[in-house]
Amino acid sequence: MKLMRSETFTHKDKQYELRLYADGWRFTVQSFHNGERADGYSHSVDLPTAFDLQQAKNTDAIAVLFESAKNEIREENWERHVKGYLESLHLTEEQSIGCQKCTNRDIDITKVDGRKMYRCKTCGNVWYEPRKTTGATETFLDDITEGVISKGFYDIATVILLNMVFREGGRSPSFHDQLDNWCNQNWLRYETYVEVKKKKEEEILHFTRRLK
Ligand SMILES: [Zn+2]
């Protein structure tokens, strides 16, 4: 999904950001507050492929989505219909979380690289809490974890991780020990292969999901 445009909107002194995402000709507007989803509503339209994708974001069809998202906030539908219901159940975080893939509720919650990681014990699905702030190291690591989630694998040159993330030195654990430990925490596994580019050989790490 590609972010096409965003606009801000104020309701009861709270500032919201409405973001328009595109996935082919499917356009979706979602509302955010302080960088996190303001509610669970998504407003989507599948436009005919005759629409010009660059122009589509400024059409009336898209304006309707923005208006619907604003109305949801103005009418406080999320607060009235969902939040109150959840609060009435008095659930702990563990009890309230379900796997998006298999809907099972047996979820392991751990903390990895400064944020929560969720893992479904039934199907092995892994996901993470969104970061509020990030740093250089996290950016490299998140590219791997997010890549495995979205594509099923992620490839990166060994030397990049060695230089940028899992540095060796003094009496600290070796590069491979640090890498193995990080993979175990994130339920990942890796294989290495050698890529030849301009007659130069480079070792590549190929990350995939570990199920057991
Ligand atoms: Zn699952």
**What residues does the ion ligand 1 have nearby, CB within 5 Å?**
99, 101-102, 104, 120, 122-123, 125
Statement: residue 212 has pLDDT above 90: no
pLDDT digits 0-9 by tens, 21-47: 999 999 999 999 998 899 999 999 999
Give me the residue spans of the domains in the chain: 2-86, 102-133, 134-212
Q: For the domain bounded by 134-212, which CATH number is listed?
A: 3.30.1370
Mean pLDDT of 120-135: 91
Cα(172) to centroid of ligand 1, in Å?
36
User: Residue 155 and residue 192: Cα distance in Å, rounded?
Assistant: 9
Helix H segments across the chain? 53-56, 60-74, 77-78, 84-89, 93-96, 136-151, 158-164, 175-185
Q: Which residues pair with 28 in a beta bridge?
A: 21, 44
Determine phi and psi for 32, rounding to 5 degrees: -130, 150
Torsion of the alpha carbons at 78, 84, 87 and 88, rounded to the nearest 10? -150
Query: Coil, strand, or helix at residue 87?
Result: helix
Chain mean pLDDT for the chain: 93
Cα(119) to centroid of ligand 1, in Å?
8
